[in-house]
Amino acid sequence: MSDIKIKITDREGVVHEVDAPTDMNMNLMEVVRSYELAPEGTIGICGGMAMCASCQCYVNSDHKLPDLSDDEDAMLAEAFNVKDNSRLGCQIHMTEDLDGLEVELAPES
């Protein structure tokens, strides 16, 4: 299996069910960009280095995600609109375990 299905709610509240490849070393921020679910320049500003929080999203399904890295934790501590289920999309790598993942993009800040 190389594709998983992910439900992404964009910043307008529209739900998109998309296929994400697991064999291209993509992260969630890159998936959002590849489907153009957020305007260019509003997501992935740091290029996926856990340094901007523009890719923040809320994880609404109960998938077991890898623990926060120190960098991700530190960035979320400074970000706006952070909730208990906030993660940085660029730190979520597409793997088969994430089939059915449901996320919502955090507001642009």
| Residues that bind ligand FES in the complex, under the rule CB under 6 A | 29, 44-46, 48-55, 75, 88, 90
Query: Distance from first CA to last CA of the chain, Å, rounded?
Result: 36
2 or 49: whose CB is closer to ligand FES? 49
2 or 81: whose CB is closer to ligand FES? 81
Query: Residues 93-96: contacts with CB within 8 Å, 24+ apart?
Result: 93/25, 93/26, 93/27, 93/66, 94/4, 94/20, 94/21, 94/22, 94/24, 94/26, 94/27, 94/28, 94/31, 95/4, 95/22, 96/1, 96/4, 96/22
- Using Cβ positions, the residue closest to ligand FES within the complex turns out to be 90
Q: How far is the CB of 40 from ligand FES (least distance, A)?
A: 13
Q: How far is the CB of 36 from ligand FES (least distance, A)?
A: 16
Q: How far is the CB of 90 from ligand FES (least distance, A)?
A: 3
2 or 80: whose CB is closer to ligand FES? 80
